[in-house]
Structure 1
Amino acid sequence: MSETTTDAWPELAAMVAAVPTAQMLGGGSLADARRLGLTERSYLGATVAHTGGISVDHGWLRLLGGGSEHLPSLAGVNAASSGLCIVGFDVLGGVFALDGGALGTGDGGTHYFAPDSLEWEDLGITHSQFVSAMLSDAIDQFYEPFRWDGWRDDLAALALDRGFSFYPPLFTAEGGNPSVSSRRAVPMAELTDGHWPEGGADEDR
């Protein structure tokens, strides 16, 4: 689903509720959605207006919304004009963004800044298709090379404003297998090449 003539929120809420490992965070900002030019006819607008963000797969993926205790808001992360709209982060420091011109055609397609390549990769899908995929078994296929034994237990003790730093780093030949690398929990700001705001979650939330 992308932009339609109906409210996307009931569909999105039902989709998240059907996934035991996903959680909608309290919050939401209709004012932010309007300021960003988003409507509730899109998944992105509905997420900002009705949630503080969405935690997916035990917190492996964090989709931005109106901001919450541990997640910055979509509006806060994208306060500066940059030619892209960051919509989510993962526990590895990967960044998901919609192309507003900085990454290619400016068609709003979803791109991923991959921690193993340190490059923006075009996923070839819309934002709504991206959300639908991450709330399905496709998330396991996408992240399969990065999983390690016990990752769910490790995530259970990790706040959403923190991620894992690996040594050797994922982008090195020696760091290609996270299962045998050492890892430590660090603030997300250390992992995301400046895309996560230094202040973390919005101070007024």
Structure 2
Amino acid sequence: MKSILKTAFIIGLTLFSVASFAQNKMQNLDELINTTDPAWPLVQKWLDSAKNKVQVLECDTAMAKNALYNAQLSTYATLGAVIYHTGGIMIDNGWLRILGSGSAKLSRSVPEWNKGKSIKEYGDQPEFYLVADDAIGGFFAINYGAFGTDLKSVYYLAPNSLKWESLGLGYTEFLRFCLDGDLSDFYKGLRWSTWDQFIANLDGNKSYSFKPYLWTEAGMDINKVSRKLVPTEELYQFNLTKQRELNPAGVIEKH
């Protein structure tokens, strides 16, 4: 009887330890909200002086707390500050969407958008982390090992190559580029002549799909292809499927 009780006790203790570890793996909000040196005041200055057209989407307090907790990021970090203080940021009338904690116009929060893509469950350590996308099906992600040894660099899944291209920027530098950089040059060849007439009222959860595909020779001229609005989720999955078809060896394509 003693041995049975001892075994039961050990099993119970083990289960308790596993449960405790699972619970302790996630930091609570008090640990994540940095009150001594938060990044937001500096981010706010960058937003206020931005050269490009910027719309900071309204932030819902409950959604912001939930998103920050699920992302497990400190507000000391720029990305944590963007999640906690914005529902997202629209650049150039929404051509470029920087994810935050979600809003009516851009309902995808950073952790929610990554679940099922870069992570299985909240609290998982990702190999990459999706943080922004654009109206033409391009996606931006922070590299945590999936794309190479340049950890924390932002990569762009370009719709005209279906390859992850390193921008050579960390997230903070990427954000500043979105606010002040030459986006016309970055998107050279990827904006049709009347693009700005279509973007202002675009739902942040939709993106344009093109035919012929932009990565084909027939789709090289953006002004000569047809375009169709589709859910951004659908386009992301489609692009990954096509990327695998073009690269059956399974190696992540990148520049």
TM-score range, shorter chain: 0.7 to 0.9
Aligned-partner Cα distance in 2 for 1:8–1:138 = 24
The one-letter code of the counterpart of 2:47 is V
Aligned-partner Cα distance in 2 for 1:96–1:58 = 18
User: Which ranges of structure 1 fall in alignment gaps of 5 or more residues?
Assistant: 196-205
* Cα shift at 1:194: 6.4
Aligned position for 2:55 = 23
* Cα shift at 1:48: 0.5
1:12-161 matches, within 5 Å, as 12-19=43-50, 21-27=53-59, 29-69=64-104, 70-80=106-116, 81=119, 82-105=126-149, 107-161=151-205
Which structure's CA Rg is the greater one?
Answer: 2
* Cα shift at 1:157: 3.3
Aligned-partner Cα distance in 2 for 1:192–1:37 = 24
**8 Å Cα contact 1:22/1:55 also seen in 2:** yes
Aligned position for 1:200 = none
Aligned position for 1:201 = none
Q: Does 2:37 align with 1:6?
A: yes
* Cα shift at 1:31: 4.0
RMSD: 1.9
SS at match of 1:55: strand
**8 Å Cα contact 2:71/2:110 also seen in 1:** no
Select the structure that is richer in helix: 2
Q: So what's the TM-score if we normalise by structure 1?
A: 0.85
Aligned-partner Cα distance in 2 for 1:72–1:128 = 20
SS at match of 1:193: helix
Higher relative contact order (CA 8 A, sep 6+): 1
User: Which ranges of structure 2 fall in alignment gaps of 5 or more residues?
Assistant: 1-35, 120-125, 240-255
Aligned length: 191
Identity %: 35
The one-letter code of the counterpart of 2:111 is A
**8 Å Cα contact 1:56/1:134 also seen in 2:** yes
